[in-house]
Structure 1
Amino acid sequence: MLLVINSFYEQGVIFNCLDNIGRCRADVIISTIRRMEFPMCHGWSLDLSSQSSFEMKLYERWKYYMFGWSKKKTTTAIDALDIVAPIKGEVVSLENVPDPAFSTKAMGEGVAIIPSEGKVTAPFAGKIVLVMEKSKHALMLEHESGVQALIHIGINTVSLKGNGFTLRVSTGDEVKAGQLLLEFDIAVIEQAGLPIITPIIIPDGQEIITRVEILDGASASEATPIMRIHL
């Protein structure tokens, strides 16, 4: 089966799935791509039936641009990084997310939060490496160790085209732990008939990470650790 990719998918589902082609279904990838915003490169073709047909140069360029996954472990002297809850609410497993791109962990390990408040704060001090400027519904941060985390507000919220979302940061900004990053209107999302459940993902493929540990806890505040990243 041949799929024409019109751009780099905003959160890396396409290429993460190819890294794990044996456990990911092409229909999951396709259904996800069709729902999402496409901000970049056009015209690449990809044969999903064979990983060997994948254009490796494009892959490496994409990884460097989006996540810097080619980077090795830095000299930061830590063995583990705690990810605190960026949103107040109820913490649930990814299996509860009504989107197979998240629930099957095709993009990576993580948890989800059912928000009780429409504010997103930085789960650690670091740098904003990606913000979806038009839809405003997702962003990615990078810790000084190189660990990156994706926060995706709601499901299919890209369709709101930024309505109900207010960004407080831009790509490239340095942020402090607990700093306000984004505000969103829960009522606007729910009135549109969209789930407000919010995945917090540690994308696959980060060489510095040895293990992602999910920490127990039914509720989350801004100071509650929800994941521990072992380096």
Structure 2
Amino acid sequence: MASPLTVLAPVAGTVRAMAEVPDPVFAGEIVGPGLAIDPSRDGVVDVVAPVAGKIVKLHPHAFVILADGGRGALVHLGLDTVQLGGVGFTLHAAEGDTVAAGDVVVSWTPADIEAGGRSPICPVVALQGKPEAVSGLVAPGAAVRAGEPLFVWS
């Protein structure tokens, strides 16, 4: 069995349960369990890698990092943000890069996403994980800073 993996908060904000995400795929944990963060609206926000590993998928609005042991952590920046075609996002890494937990991957402005009529909420997903394998370290409703432990994936 793989050792427990601590997944960090990729952005600062207020922790939300996945069930609170206004998207049925995330709310139903169809791609995996996790927690979401309603990001702070303080100008341009750096998004950090929640785990160390290889960036196996990188879009301006979302990325997946494959950690040692083959577990993938998905960070999705806002909902329906794929429709923006990358506008409003700045990449600081490339697909295939190896990153340390806490390295900056993307920058964006959550307030601009919200002003455009989209939710800036950020699901952080243990891809294909079992719900019982994910233990939240921060209660929904609590504040978290980028780079702080968010949940443990055992």
Q: Same fold (TM over 0.5)?
A: yes
Pairwise CA RMSD: 1.9
- Match in the other structure for 2:50: 123
The correspondence of residues 108-147 of structure 1 with structure 2, limited to 5 A, is 108-116=32-40, 117=42, 118-132=45-59, 136-147=60-71
- 2: CA distance between counterparts of 1:211 and 1:179? 25
Q: How far apart in 2 are the matches of 1:164 and 1:186?
A: 9
Greater strand percent: which structure? 2
Structure 1 equivalent of residue 80 of structure 2: 156
What corresponds to 2:134 in structure 1? 212
1:1-231, aligned counterparts within 5 Å?
79-116=3-40, 117=42, 118-132=45-59, 136-204=60-128, 211-217=133-139, 218-230=142-154
SS at match of 1:169: coil
- SS of the aligned residue for 2:112 comes to helix
Q: Which 4+ residue blocks in structure 1 deviate beyond 3 angstroms? A: none
TM-score for both structures, normalised by structure 2: 0.89
> 1-side partners of 2:48 and 2:116: how far apart?
24
Q: Which has the higher helix share?
A: 1
1:123 Cα deviation from its structure 2 partner: 1.4
Listed as ranges, the gaps of 5+ residues in structure 1 are: 1-72
Distance 1:205 1:199 in 2: 14
Unaligned runs of 5+ in 2: none
The structure number with the bigger radius of gyration is: 1
User: Any idea what SS the aligned residue of 1:222 has?
Assistant: coil
Counterparts of 1:103 and 1:184, CA distance in 2: 23
* TM-score under structure 1 length normalisation: 0.60
Q: What SS does the corresponding residue of 2:113 show, helix, strand or coil?
A: helix
| 1:161 positional shift | 1.0
* Pairwise CA distance, 1:176: 1.4
Q: Which has the higher contact order (CA 8 A, sep 6+)?
A: 2
Deviation at 1:210, TM superposition (A): 7.3
